[in-house]
């Protein structure tokens, strides 16, 4: 055998040894990152989270610890350790890169925040420097690994009970992660949470784990729906006060309205820039019939009648506004709907008995809206259920959860029906759809009216949750959601035409300004930056259906399948193409 042949045979072996060594080094870097969280990062407790204790991670250290642990697990999976292959059916390298960046970003954010807020790097303990160096090690080694991406193979068949346990466990973990974010007590921890969550979620998508979970949820749709509802309903039972439950209630309200807008924008393709006005119609209607002394109509409807009245009035407004305007298309329709939204806000501000009839109390709005009472159950009072005391906002949370389920059912059934297919046809090409016999005006009017009805339904609950309604709550854009710009951004960011997309979009867009108060004044700037980045890197939205993915990524190899379940209201889509 010649020397050349020996050299050629030795080269692959050397390369394999090098890759194995890099993977072990990545695991060691993840372990070092974990150990660094048991050191003191600063000597003063002035920084939120108290990072001064040895042997007990706190605050941002916990996030770094979790990211380091996941790095170790994926590093061991890349080495072929038995029992960990399920973590990365599509390969480990891309996931390791994202996880390493997540741990690095979270740790360095904490170190920089300590230095900035406390007045210099002198406030860092040696543990802070150790953490900064340790978190950089996985980044250096992971980016030297070769790409091991592969098509996702069919998983090994599991018993039904095991697959159901996987679904239940996944929703339990997901609800815990969401609850952790809502319960964060200070801006620094929430910012670190966002960094870690973003990179970890992207890593799970790239590893193919979410795609495989999608296949399991598609197989057991009913179990998935029940698990999702139970996980969401369990949230109030994890709270000791109503502080964070109020945030969750508002998220559900705005997500429900965003789902209604998704019918108009996502399915029918109608750009509505004044949609928040329908939410205001429902809220003002409920306030006027609530029995408050500030109402011009001295009546008090029961809960079910107030809900039906608000939805019906919003439906009428949708038809009245849609009938003369839906013959327009594109930008012209957007301008008209924007005008309608502003006309509504100005009108309710002028119905004060001076500029117009005394109906809405003008700019002062309608205050002192009483809590809902349904069959003797007062939503404004605390109630004890199974030994847990639920406050007023917890009651409204469970009510809005039921309302959201209703909206999801309406959306899913309508989207998969004959009228839903007509909406999609109108959205894709109205001229061609009309030539095929679809009555475009009637179809669009139905979408407009249905979307308005769902918004009015949510508005009736919002009025009682806020206990007051004022014109400033329903404008095109502003620092406080909901507004039309917020709702439209939630639909586009999450993914038009899907069910889970607007839910994710509304959650992110509400939680971030609510937790990071300084961002409220720059909300529109944030929306603009987010949409620009979205158009560049993921034009189909964070969660997209199969059609949108194929339209925007025709030349890409989609090795991780996505699943969109319009019939069940559950969609889990591939987030990285």
Per-residue model confidence as pLDDT tens digits over 391-425: 778 888 888 888 888 888 888 888 778 888 888 88
Q: With cut-offs at 50, 70 and 90, classify the pLDDT of residue 13.
A: low
128 vs 497 pLDDT, higher one: 128
The pLDDT-based confidence of 519 (bands split at 50, 70, 90) is: low
Mind listing the pLDDT tens digit for each residue in 191-200? 899 999 989 9
In this structure, are residues 60 and 11 in contact, taking their beta carbons and an 8 Å threshold? no
Q: Write the pLDDT tens digit of every residue in 212-240.
A: 888 888 888 888 888 888 888 888 888 77
| Whether pTM exceeds 0.75 | yes
d(CA 10, CA 276): 68
* Average pLDDT score over the chain: 82
Residue-wise DSSP of 381-395: S-EEETTEEE-HHHH
Q: Is pLDDT of 381 > 80?
A: no
What pLDDT is recorded for position 575?
34
pLDDT band of 549, cuts 50, 70, 90: low
pLDDT at 65 over 90: yes
The DSSP element (H or E) to which 324 belongs, if any, is helix 303-325
The two structure tokens encoding residue 553? 């990524």
User: What is the percent of the chain where pLDDT is above 90?
Assistant: 15
Residue with tokens 């925040």: 113
* Mean pLDDT (whole number) for 341-363: 82
> Quick one: how many helices (H) and strands (E) in the chain?
20, 6
pLDDT at 225: 84
Q: What is the mean pLDDT of residues 352-378?
A: 80
In angstroms, how far is the first alpha carbon of the chain from the final one? 47
Quick check: helix, strand or coil at residue 382? Answer: coil
Mean pLDDT of 100-127: 90
pLDDT at 203 over 80: yes
Is the pLDDT at 343 greater than 50, yes or no? yes
Helices (H), 119-220: 126-142, 160-182, 187-207, 209-219
Structure tokens at 205: 């998508």
Does residue 267 surpass a pLDDT of 90?
Answer: no
Among 64, 43, 62, CA closest to 52:
43
| Calpha distance 215→180 (Å, rounded) | 27
Determine contact, residues 135/108, Cβ cutoff 8 Å: yes
* 8 — pLDDT class (breaks 50, 70, 90): very low
pLDDT (0 to 100) of residue 550: 60
Question: What pLDDT score does 480 carry?
Answer: 66
Q: Which of 60-64, 174-178, 332-336, 555-559 is most confident?
A: 60-64
Instruction: Provide mean pLDDT across the span 317-322.
Output: 86
pLDDT > 60? residue 556: no
**pLDDT the model gives residue 395:** 85
Q: How confident is the model at residue 557 (pLDDT cuts 50, 70, 90)?
A: very low
Percentage of the chain modeled with pLDDT above 70: 89
């Amino acid at each position: 055998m010649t020397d050349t042949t020996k050299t050629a045979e030795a080269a692959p072996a050397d390369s394999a040894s090098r890759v194995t060594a890099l993977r072990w080094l990545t695991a060691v870097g993840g372990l070092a990152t974990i150990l660094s969280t048991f050191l003191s990062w600063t000597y003063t407790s002035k920084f939120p989270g108290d990072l001064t204790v040895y042997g007990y991670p706190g605050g941002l250290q916990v996030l770094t610890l979790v990211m380091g642990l996941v790095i170790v697990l994926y590093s061991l999976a890349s080495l072929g350790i038995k029992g960990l292959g399920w973590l990365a059916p599509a390969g480990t390298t891309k996931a390791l890169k994202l996880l390493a960046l997540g741990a690095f970003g979270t740790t360095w954010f904490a170190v920089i925040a300590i230095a900035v807020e406390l007045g210099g790097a002198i406030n860092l303990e040696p543990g802070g420097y150790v953490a900064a160096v340790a978190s950089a090690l996985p980044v250096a080694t992971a980016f030297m690994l070769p790409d091991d991406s592969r098509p996702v193979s069919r998983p090994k068949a599991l018993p039904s009970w095991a697959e159901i346990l996987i679904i239940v466990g996944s929703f339990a973990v997901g609800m815990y992660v969401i609850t952790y974010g809502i319960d964060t007590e200070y801006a620094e921890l929430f910012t670190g949470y966002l960094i870690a969550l973003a990179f970890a979620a992207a890593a799970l998508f790239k590893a193919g784990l979410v795609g495989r979970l999608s296949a399991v949820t598609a197989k057991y749709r009913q179990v998935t729906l029940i698990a999702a509802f139970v996980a969401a309903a369990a949230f109030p039972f994890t709270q000791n006060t109503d502080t964070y439950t109020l945030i969750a209630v508002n998220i559900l309200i705005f997500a429900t309205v965003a789902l209604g807008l998704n019918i108009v924008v996502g399915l029918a393709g109608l750009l509505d820039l004044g949609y928040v006005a329908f939410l205001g119609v429902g809220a003002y209607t409920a306030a006027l019939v609530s029995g408050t002394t500030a109402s011009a109509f001295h009546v008090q409807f029961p809960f079910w009648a107030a809900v039906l009245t608000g939805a019906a009035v919003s439906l009428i407004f949708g038809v009245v506004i849609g009938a003369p305007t839906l013959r327009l298309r594109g930008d012209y329709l957007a301008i008209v709907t924007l005008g309608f939204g502003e006309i509504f806000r100005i009108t309710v501000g002028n119905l004060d008995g001076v500029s117009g009839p005394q109906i809405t109390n003008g700019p002062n709005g309608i205050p002192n809206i009483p809590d809902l009472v349904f069959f003797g159950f007062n939503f404004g009072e605390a109630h004890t259920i199974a030994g847990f005391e639920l406050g007023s906002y917890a009651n409204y949370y469970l009510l809005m959860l039921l309302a959201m389920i209703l909206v999801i059912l309406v959306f899913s059934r309508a989207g998969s029906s004959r009228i839903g297919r007509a909406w999609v046809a109108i959205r894709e090409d109205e001229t061609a759809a009309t030539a095929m016999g679809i009555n475009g005006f009637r179809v669009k009017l139905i979408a407009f009216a249905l979307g308005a009805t769902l918004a009015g339904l949510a508005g009736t609950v919002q009025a009682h949750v806020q206990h007051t309604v004022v014109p400033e709550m329903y404008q095109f854009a502003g620092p406080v959601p909901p507004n039309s710009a917020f709702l439209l951004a939630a639909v586009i960011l999450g993914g038009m035409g899907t069910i889970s997309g607007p839910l994710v979009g509304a959650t992110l867009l509400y939680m971030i300004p609510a937790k990071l108060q300084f961002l409220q004044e720059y909300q529109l700037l944030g929306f603009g930056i987010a949409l620009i980045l979205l158009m560049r890197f993921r034009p189909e939205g964070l969660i997209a259906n199969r059609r949108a993915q194929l339209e925007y990524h025709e030349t890409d190899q989609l090795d991780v399948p996505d699943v969109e379940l319009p019939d069940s209201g559950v969609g889990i889509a591939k987030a990285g193409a």
